[in-house]
Structure 1
Amino acid sequence: MLLQDQLNAFKEQFKKQAPEAAFNAFARSTQELIESGQAEKALKVGDTAPKFVLTDAEGTEVSLTALLANGPVVLSFYRGVWCPYCNIELQALEAVNEELKARGATLAAISMQGAENSLKSQQENKLNFPILTDHAGEIADQFGIRWTLQDYVIEFHKMFKVVLPEIHGDGKWSLPMPARYVIATDGTIAYAEVNPDYTQRPEPSELLTVLDELSAKA
């Protein structure tokens, strides 16, 4: 089943089970984020990716420079272990991870959550790639994808026990928009997909095409 089909199926299930006010608030929040135009201001193909040094779930430092020394890097910005849409996507990325490796690429996810939640996410989703901690969303900011939640939707996050200031440890109600990037070995962005609608994600197979094109240019 395609990734988007899985996401659509979950969305329909959630709509049936969640309070109508909650579903509508999340939909309104998403629509307002779309209309804000922030996604169009995020880093795009041809831009230089911000360099970073982040820690994985084991506390080991991981730098973009070191990853790029081994080949292209695929980055997926991840909202957190609490987000079922994101977990479905991570599983779909894991399913193509070996094909990414075969093309010389390294896959990593980036989240504002702490190491404990990242380790939980890796275990529950059976991931063989790291989830790196972006404290206070600094790297998401540099990519132009971090946004602040509206007051009216915060109460529904609390209702589902998703208290972001505590999960992130920064005291703020903010998240990265779901985003996926391919960074070429020279540090430029070869692929960028940023969607303010967290229920919509591109198919992982797109990454394989991008990596094949990069290989052909080398």
Structure 2
Amino acid sequence: MTLTEQLKEYAENSVKRHPGAAQDIMKSAIDALEATDILEGATKTGDSFPNFTLPNVKGEQVTLEALLKEGRVVLTFYRGGWCPYCNIALKALQNAIPEFKAKGAQLIAITPETPDNSLTTKEKNELDFQVLTSENNELARSLGLIYQLPEDLVALYTKFGIDLLQSQGNEANELPIAATYIIGQDGKVTYHFLAEDYKLRADPLDIIAAL
């Protein structure tokens, strides 16, 4: 199955696993976010992507400038290893790495997870690409991708055993929207995928076609 098909199947099964009020809370949060103008202000195709310096799971500092010297960059944001949709997407992107490399691009993931937590996510999903931590979501914030979770959704996540304070090391209850970019060696964005609905992600087939 394509990533899009996998995510759709998981979402349909999720409705069966968590019916009723839980679904209403999650849908209401998505609807509220879709009613904002977050996508209008977000970085898109044609914009310059800001340089960054972020730590990987080993604590080594990685810069976009250095990455772009090696070729184009496919950069994707994920919310945390606690998010099943993120894990499905990361595995699908991992499987697409040979095609990315054949097109002269490397894959990078950005997360608000602490390096210790991102290492766990990396190992769990057997990822062999760079996973970088953006503390307090600062990179995503600079791109206009950040939103704050409503209180009832935070409470629901807590009920599900999701602890954003433990994951991110802060109490802001903020997350990035689903976002993936292709960044050219000149630092310009040549492809973007943005979605307020966390169940939607850039399909590797579309990314490959855009490279």
After TM superposition, the score normalised by the length of structure 1 is 0.94
Aligned partner of 1:215 in structure 2 is none
Kindly provide the amino acid, as one letter, of the partner of residue 162 in structure 2.
Answer: V
Q: 1:122 matched to which residue of 2?
A: 122
SS in 2 for 1:91: helix
Q: Does 1:36 align with 2:36?
A: yes
1:181 is matched with 181
CA RMSD after TM alignment: 1.0
> Structure 1 vs Structure 2: percent identity of aligned residues?
37
TM superposition shift of 1:19: 4.6
Q: Which amino acid aligns with 1:140?
A: A
User: Any gaps of 5 or more consecutive residues in structure 2?
Assistant: none
Distance 2:43 2:83 in 1: 24
SS, match of residue 131 in structure 1: strand
Give deviations 1:14-45, integer Å, cap 9, x for gaps.
11112521121011101110111212220011
Partner residue of 2:66?
66
Structure 1 position 102, deviation (Å): 1.6
Q: Does 1:14 align with 2:14?
A: yes
Verify: 1:166 aligned to 2:141, yes or no.
no
TM-score w.r.t. the length of structure 2 is: 0.97
Contact 2:182 2:190 in 1 (8 A): yes
Q: Which residue of 2 aligns with 1:48?
A: 48
Matched, 1:26 2:9: no
Q: How does 1:89-168 map to 2 (within 5 A)?
A: 89-168=89-168
> Alpha-carbon deviation of 1:183?
0.5
Letter matched to residue 5 of structure 1: E
Q: Which secondary structure state, in structure 2, belongs to the residue aligned with residue 80 of structure 1?
A: coil
| Superposed displacement of residue 186, structure 1 | 0.4
Deviation, 1:108, is 0.6
CA distance in 1, matches of 2:117, 2:165: 14
Question: In the alignment, residue 69 of structure 2 is paired with which amino acid?
Answer: A
1:98 and 1:116 map into 2 onto residues whose CA distance is 27
Give the match for residue 77 of structure 1. 77
Corresponding residue for residue 202 of structure 1: 202
Partner amino acid, structure 2, of 1:25: I
Partners of 2:104 and 2:161 in 1: CA distance: 40
**d(CA) in 1 for partners of 2:54, 2:106:** 15
